[in-house]
Amino acid sequence: MSVSSSSESVVSYPDKKAGATVWVRVALDVPLQGLFDYRCLPPVNQGDRVIVPFGRRKLIGVVVDLPAFPELDETLVRDVDQVLGDLPALPADWLRLAAFAASYYQRPLGEAMLPTLPVPLRRVGAYQGKRSAGGPVSRLDRRAGKTPAFSKASAQEVAAQAPVLNTAQQTAVDGIAQLAGHGVVLLHGVTGSGKTEVYLHAAQATLARGKQVLFMVPEINLTPQLEAVLQSRLAAGGEPCALAVMHSGLADGERLAAWVAAHRGRARVLLGTRMSVFAPMPELGLIIVDEEHDTSYKQQEGLRYSARDLAIWRARDLGVPVVLGSATPSLETWRHAESGHYQRYTLPDRARAAQMPRVRLVDTRRLDLDQGFSPQLTEAIGKRIQAGEQALVFLNRRGYAPVVNCASCGWVSQCPRCTAYAVLHRGPGRRNTLQCHHCGYQARVPTACPDCGDQDLKPMGRGTQRVEEYLAECFPEARIARIDADSTRLKGSAQALFSKVHAGEVDILVGTQMVAKGHDFARLGLVGVLNADAMLFAQDFRAPERLFAQLMQVAGRAGRHAAGGEVIIQTDYPDQAVYQALLRHDYVGFAKYGLAERKAVGLPPFAYQALLTAEAPALADALAFLAQARALPEQASSSYPTVSAITLYDPVPLRIVRVAHVERAQLLVESSSRPALQSFLSIWSLALHTLARGARIRYHLEIDPLEI
Ligand SMILES: Nc1ncnc2c1ncn2[C@@H]1O[C@H](COP(=O)(O)OP(=O)(O)OP(=O)(O)O)[C@@H](O)[C@H]1O
Ligand SMILES: [Zn+2]
């Protein structure tokens, strides 16, 4: 057998006559179950990417197996077009992770695996187009010769001085160091307790052993500050730390660079948001998941995965430790810690300030509010800025006002495409618009009521823009900054705003949940919370947990570096358990109460759930599809061995039924046994695929949904 000389080059083309071909089994990003066999000339390895013909198209896929025989008749098997040798093969553990994600989240392997790759690595045009110039990786390498491989974050923002660990921190660091292999550590530390310091020490030890570290954070805007800290603290022997950063705010090329650096083992630390859990890291030795409770770790489209859960799986598979950190762990995590399944270390006190901030509930039931502000809150803000401190006003609602209303006929601004209000936004130069936060619809604000012609249209309620406006009237001297999705739309603008806050160039900060978490503000003395009650009576059983976590987080921004921090929460329901626990900073009590409640009614973490959502132009069709889906197991009960352990609830419309002219309904599936649920879903998901064929329905199945 002769091997053609082309097989020696990085890129090889199969030559049918050579006869030395092998079979490869390839995962492709197509909505079909199963894998696809091709004929290929060696050398080709498991984990290589290949370009293959698929119908009339060409696609990039990943070789997951080299079977002895193809599944099809040999004469029907087509040839691999090109083996892409520009990167090392994807490692076996990466293939295992993708396979686990696909099976656990009930998606075809290729559909789960391929989208985790940076776009240029899975686009045929990037390799075979006229301008491919050797492919994206060699283009990247040519560029990299000109620019430094790793960013040197502005180290002046950070004091490189490492503080001496306190006893609680040292205990946690020692505990993590002693883990011989895999172990899940919950680092439960109150806000400002210095969890970052513990991560840094654990990371340092891992790097010293020659291993890589994956450091996950929930939000993009937490990366710059942390990048600078990691950069200055993890530098060794005069060399900057080989740190790569990965998040959705990066351009394709930047993300590719980070991914390639991790894959080649050149990046020793990868700092990233949820997508980074899928980065191949050949020498991964530690995973850190900061703010593990944060819902941003959940991907809400495509493969609906939990990056935290996958991180735990990945660490176990590799036999390495994973550290989950939070001041308010998810109840799922807390339960594992209580049962001893996870090892728990507690940082009970703040690292700098002696005490936690004082929490005050202002009962707004009998108060005259001015633009939503109680006199107590306004006065407190005034005092703080007088004293040269900063104040933060937290309101989880962007825009100027959530709705516009006609005083004479009761007309309200509604999105024409969704069952939702159109929100009033103030644009530059008084160019006001109505915007839908669900579908992106935008329109001018009508000058008169579309129904009755009356010109007395009024904004109702308030969002961050209106709060900013009000504060500017109350405190004309104060420097006010607003941080929300609108004010940070431009690349780099969030970082610029946060830098101003850190530099003390802001007196009052108004913001949504973007400002609530993670940031270590040195001069912030007061946090005021508006409209917290909005979340109190949400239908979702996780709403109280989420509200509590969010309020603990935002409250935790106050008084981090000096004593005397204060939090003012305005509420009509001061007796609610959430607020009472907050007064005492009592996460443990709240978790105990929450878990007991969940246990009593059999909700997660004492049950496991999946959610089937159907979308159609008419609600009736979506509901009918779900009804059929629900009936499937009855019609073929012998195919569903675990069906007796499964509860299928009635299909119901979503709370916001219509979004962008599409109507949506959902069906909840539940079981007290995860294996029973998984077994059921693996059969059911295939049947759903068949059921939906021909029907004008889109559907998706979500495992472990966070919102129901
Ligand atoms: N041992 C220590 N001695 C003095 N200061 C410390 C120590 N450890 C941490 N700090 C400082 O305490 C502050 C809070 O630390 P850090 O931001 O890590 O808190 P955190 O636990 O992550 O809080 P959060 O959950 O609110 O994000 C930082 O300014 C940090 O530099
Ligand atoms: Zn809309």
The angle that helices 619-635 and 674-692 make with each other, rounded to 10 degrees, is: 120
User: Is residue 314 scored above 80 in pLDDT?
Assistant: yes
CA 90 to chain CA mean position, Å: 24
Q: What CATH number should be reported for the domain whose range is 608-703?
A: 3.30.70.1130
User: Is residue 696 scored above 70 in pLDDT?
Assistant: yes
Sorted by sequence, the CB contacts under 8 Å of residue 683 that are 6+ apart come out as: 639, 640
Cis peptide before 544 (omega within 30 of 0): no
Amino acid at 422: A
Predicted pLDDT of residue 147? 60
- Report the C-alpha gap between 403 and 425 in whole angstroms: 10
The predicted model gives 568-583 an average pLDDT of 95
Amino acid at 539: Q
CA of 437 to the centre of ligand 2 (A): 7
Question: Which ligand lies nearest to the CA atom of residue 521 in the structure?
Answer: 1
439 labelled as ligand-binding?
yes
The CATH class that applies to domain 5-122 reads alpha beta
pLDDT digits (tens, 9 = 90+) for 100-132: 999 999 999 999 999 999 999 999 999 987 777
- Report the C-alpha gap between 514 and 394 in whole angstroms: 10
CA 548 to chain CA mean position, Å: 19
241 labelled as ligand-binding?
no
Higher-pLDDT residue of 354 and 12 is 354
The predicted model gives 524-544 an average pLDDT of 91
The predicted model gives 185-196 an average pLDDT of 96
Biggest distance spanned by C-alpha atoms of the chain: 91
The CATH 3.30.70.1130 domain(s) of the chain lie at 608-703
Sorted by sequence, the CB contacts under 8 Å of residue 693 that are 6+ apart come out as: none
Predicted pLDDT of residue 146? 65
406 labelled as ligand-binding?
yes
- Report the C-alpha gap between 203 and 448 in whole angstroms: 61
Predicted pLDDT of residue 133? 79
User: Percent of the chain beyond pLDDT 70?
Assistant: 95
User: Is residue 156 scored above 50 in pLDDT?
Assistant: no
Nearest CA to ligand 1 atom 25: 191
- Report the C-alpha gap between 270 and 242 in whole angstroms: 9
Instruction: Give the phi and the psi of residue 245 in degrees, each rounded to 5.
Output: -120, 140
Give 541-544 contacts, CB < 8 A, sequence gap 24+. 541/598, 541/603, 541/708, 542/706, 542/707, 542/708, 544/577, 544/578, 544/594
- Report the C-alpha gap between 47 and 26 in whole angstroms: 9
User: Is residue 154 scored above 60 in pLDDT?
Assistant: no
State which residues have CB under 5 angstroms from ligand 2, the bound ion. Answer: 415, 417-418, 436, 438-439, 441
Q: The pTM is what?
A: 0.93
Predicted pLDDT of residue 695? 82
Q: Which string of DSSP letters, residue by residue, matches 390-414?
A: EEEEE-S--SSBSEEEETTT--B-B
Task: Determine if residue 586 is left, alpha or beta; phi over 0 gives left, psi from -120 to 50 gives alpha, anything else beta.
Answer: beta
User: Is residue 159 scored above 80 in pLDDT?
Assistant: no
The predicted model gives 93-105 an average pLDDT of 98
- Report the C-alpha gap between 467 and 649 in whole angstroms: 42
Do residues 33 and 107 make contact, with C-beta atoms less than 8 angstroms apart? Answer: no
* Three-state secondary structure of 623-653: HHHHHHHHHHHHHCHHHCCCHHHEEECCCEE
- Report the C-alpha gap between 337 and 344 in whole angstroms: 6
Predicted pLDDT of residue 537? 83
The CATH 3.40.1440.60 domain(s) of the chain lie at 5-122
In the structure, what pLDDT confidence band is assigned to residue 157 with cuts at 50, 70 and 90? very low
Do residues 401 and 466 make contact, with C-beta atoms less than 8 angstroms apart? Answer: yes
449 labelled as ligand-binding?
yes
What is the spatial order of strands in the sheet that 442-444 belongs to?
423-425, 433-435, 442-444
From start to end of 385-531, where are the E strands? 390-394, 403-406, 423-425, 433-435, 442-444, 457-460, 480-483, 508-511, 524-529
Q: What CATH number should be reported for the domain whose range is 155-347?
A: 3.40.50.300
40 labelled as ligand-binding?
no
User: Is residue 69 scored above 80 in pLDDT?
Assistant: yes
Cis peptide before 31 (omega within 30 of 0): no
CA of 410 to the centre of ligand 2 (A): 20
CA of 216 to the centre of ligand 1 (A): 17
Predicted pLDDT of residue 19? 60
Pick the most confident of 236-245, 280-289, 354-363: 280-289
The CATH 3.40.50.300 domain(s) of the chain lie at 155-347, 358-400+462-597
The angle that helices 543-555 and 587-601 make with each other, rounded to 10 degrees, is: 170
Least confident span in 10-14, 210-214, 356-360? 10-14
CATH architecture of the domain 358-400+462-597 equals 3-Layer(aba) Sandwich (3.40)
pLDDT digits (tens, 9 = 90+) for 370-395: 999 999 999 999 999 999 999 999 99
Half-sphere exposure of 371 (CA within 13 A, CB side): 19
Cβ burial 266-276 (10 Å sphere, 16+ → b, else e): ebbbbbbbbbb
Locate the ligand 1 atom nearest the alpha carbon of residue 166 and give its number. 1
Which tokens in the block code for residue 295?
């819902």
418 labelled as ligand-binding?
yes
Predicted pLDDT of residue 84? 95
Question: Strands 36-40 and 78-79: what pairing?
Answer: parallel
Nearest CA to ligand 1 atom 6: 351
- Report the C-alpha gap between 287 and 156 in whole angstroms: 27
pLDDT digits (tens, 9 = 90+) for 262-273: 999 999 999 999
Residue with tokens 């695929």: 689
- Report the C-alpha gap between 300 and 265 in whole angstroms: 30
Which tokens in the block code for residue 56?
């009339």
The predicted model gives 531-559 an average pLDDT of 91
User: Is residue 584 scored above 80 in pLDDT?
Assistant: yes
Q: What single-letter DSSP state applies at residue 298?
A: B
The predicted model gives 639-643 an average pLDDT of 95
In the structure, what pLDDT confidence band is assigned to residue 403 with cuts at 50, 70 and 90? very high
Question: Strands 82-84 and 49-54: what pairing?
Answer: antiparallel
- Report the C-alpha gap between 652 and 630 in whole angstroms: 12
Which tokens in the block code for residue 420?
């939702």
Higher-pLDDT residue of 11 and 520 is 520
In the structure, what pLDDT confidence band is assigned to residue 14 with cuts at 50, 70 and 90? very low
Predicted pLDDT of residue 235? 81
Locate the ligand 1 atom nearest the alpha carbon of residue 291 and give its number. 25
Least confident span in 2-16, 177-191, 280-294? 2-16
436 labelled as ligand-binding?
yes
Ligand 1 pocket, mutate which of 520, 521, 527 (most atoms under 8 A from CB): 520
The predicted model gives 39-51 an average pLDDT of 96
Sorted by sequence, the CB contacts under 8 Å of residue 706 that are 6+ apart come out as: 295, 298, 542
User: Is residue 354 scored above 90 in pLDDT?
Assistant: no
Predicted pLDDT of residue 516? 87
CA of 275 to the centre of ligand 2 (A): 28
Locate the ligand 1 atom nearest the alpha carbon of residue 519 and give its number. 27
- Report the C-alpha gap between 84 and 135 in whole angstroms: 9
The predicted model gives 478-494 an average pLDDT of 93
Predicted pLDDT of residue 152? 55
User: Percent of the chain beyond pLDDT 90?
Assistant: 82
Question: Which ligand lies nearest to the CA atom of residue 348 in the structure?
Answer: 1
Locate the ligand 1 atom nearest the alpha carbon of residue 196 and give its number. 18
Pocket, ligand 1, Cβ cutoff 6 A:
163-166, 169, 189, 191-197, 327, 351-352, 518, 520, 556, 560
Nearest CA to ligand 1 atom 15: 194
Locate the ligand 1 atom nearest the alpha carbon of residue 518 and give its number. 27
CA of 384 to the centre of ligand 1 (A): 23
- Report the C-alpha gap between 218 and 571 in whole angstroms: 28
In the structure, what pLDDT confidence band is assigned to residue 16 with cuts at 50, 70 and 90? very low
474 labelled as ligand-binding?
no
CA of 661 to the centre of ligand 2 (A): 8
At 599 the three-state DSSP class reads: helix
